[in-house]
């Protein structure tokens, strides 16, 4: 039995926690106050991901207030692939994809590795994540959106109580809902005229005039309607 124990221990020491719970979406709008909690994805007690409004990449606001290339966001590493892969190659946020021109690549499966402040791999958390929107350019407002997996031990109530929001907002066309519990979207202009009735989790406003539109979103989980406003800018005048 002694020899069997010695063989098993190395495998236990190098195992990570994989968050394979339900997927949620986090979004920070352009020029939103990144110092406020609602514009930070507080994944753990130590890692609060957000982005400043002056360009640059992600930061961990719990430990830093500005972006530092090669180290930000502190306490994290990144890789292309899935948490189920056995050959992930982790690097810092700017360089993990081997292309410093694009950070991060959009619509590609990624893995976020949270180190929990230690060098012990058994302390790490692996999270599947995909960026669906990234505002490029200096002083661009720092907007971004991603979907990610969650801790499977979270209660269903936690997910149901997650705020419903539309992104990007303002938009030039396509508008998405951050939760798949939305089963119907109604769109109105400011006069109260209904313009759209959709059973999808996204709508396209690209053919609409610039302005403010009222959204009614039906939550299939709580059987309630949620009211939101979206600003359409750019494109058709």
User: Closest Cα to residue 220, out of 164, 171, 169, 168?
Assistant: 164
Strands ordered across the beta sheet of 174-177: 166-167, 174-177, 202-204
3-class DSSP state for residue 3? helix
Spatial contact of 24 and 162, defined as CB atoms under 8 Å apart: yes
User: pLDDT tens digits, residue range 69-125?
Assistant: 889 999 999 999 999 998 899 999 988 765 555 567 788 999 999 998 777 777 899
Q: What is the pLDDT of residue 209?
A: 93
**Mean per-residue pLDDT, 5-25:** 63
Confidence of residue 191 (pLDDT cuts 50, 70, 90): confident
DSSP 7: H
Which residue spans within 29-117 are E strands per DSSP?
41-42, 48-50, 59-60, 76-80, 110-114
Query: DSSP string covering 104-115, please?
Result: SPTTS-EEEEE-
- Compare 29 and 40 and report the one with higher pLDDT: 40
**Arithmetic mean of pLDDT, 135-148:** 82
Q: Which of 13-22, 31-40, 174-183 has the lowest mean pLDDT?
A: 13-22
Which domains, and CATH codes, for the chain? Answer: 15-160 (no CATH), 166-232 (2.60.40)
Among 113, 102, 18, 109, CA closest to 60: 113
- Please write down the long-range contacts of 9-15, taking CB distance under 8 Å and 24 or more positions apart: 12/122, 13/120, 13/121, 13/122, 14/121, 14/122, 15/121, 15/122
Q: Does 12 have pLDDT greater than 50?
A: no
Q: What pLDDT, on the 0 to 100 scale, is given for residue 15? A: 63
Its pTM stands at 0.64
In this prediction, residue 9 has a pLDDT band, given cuts at 50, 70 and 90, of very low
- The residue among 217, 212, 170 whose CA lies nearest residue 190 is 212
**What element of type H or E holds 126?**
strand 125-134
Residue recorded with tokens 């979206």 = 230
Pair of tokens at residue 117: 């402040």
For residue 64, give the nearest of 40, 81, 83, 88 by alpha carbon. Answer: 40
The whole-angstrom separation of Cα 189 and Cα 8 is 64
Average pLDDT score over the chain = 83
State the pLDDT at residue 13. Answer: 37
Segment 141-169 shows an average pLDDT of: 77
Residue 10 — very low, low, confident or very high, per pLDDT cuts 50/70/90? very low
Give CA–CA dist 69/82, Å, rounded: 24
pLDDT bracket for residue 129 (50, 70, 90): very high
Distances 98 to 89, 101, 132 between C-alpha atoms, Å: 11, 9, 19
Provide the token pair at 139: 């002083």
**Mapping DSSP to helix (H, G, I), strand (E, B) and coil, where does residue 9 land?**
helix
């Amino acid at each position: 039995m002694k020899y069997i124990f010695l063989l098993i221990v190395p495998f236990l020491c190098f195992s990570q926690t994989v968050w394979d719970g339900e997927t949620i979406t986090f979004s920070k709008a352009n020029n939103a106050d990144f110092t406020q909690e609602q514009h930070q994805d507080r994944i753990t007690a130590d890692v609060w991901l957000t982005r400043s409004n002056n360009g640059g990449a992600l930061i961990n606001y719990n430990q830093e207030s500005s972006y530092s290339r090669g180290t930000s966001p502190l306490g994290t590493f990144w890789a292309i692939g899935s948490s189920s892969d056995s050959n992930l190659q982790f690097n810092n946020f700017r360089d993990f994809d081997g292309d410093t021109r694009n950070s991060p690549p959009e619509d590609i499966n990624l893995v976020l590795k949270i180190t929990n402040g230690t060098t012990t791999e058994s302390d790490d958390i692996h999270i599947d994540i995909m960026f669906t929107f990234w505002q490029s350019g200096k002083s661009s407002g720092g907007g971004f959106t991603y979907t990610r997996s969650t801790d499977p031990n979270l209660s269903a109530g936690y997910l149901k109580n997650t705020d419903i929001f539309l992104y990007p907002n303002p938009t030039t066309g396509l508008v998405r809902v951050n939760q798949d519990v939305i089963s119907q979207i109604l769109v109105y202009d400011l006069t109260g005229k209904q313009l759209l009735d959709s059973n999808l989790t996204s709508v396209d406003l690209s053919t609409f005039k610039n302005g403010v539109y009222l959204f009614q979103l039906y939550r299939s989980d709580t059987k309630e309607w949620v009211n939101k406003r979206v600003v359409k800018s750019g494109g058709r005048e």
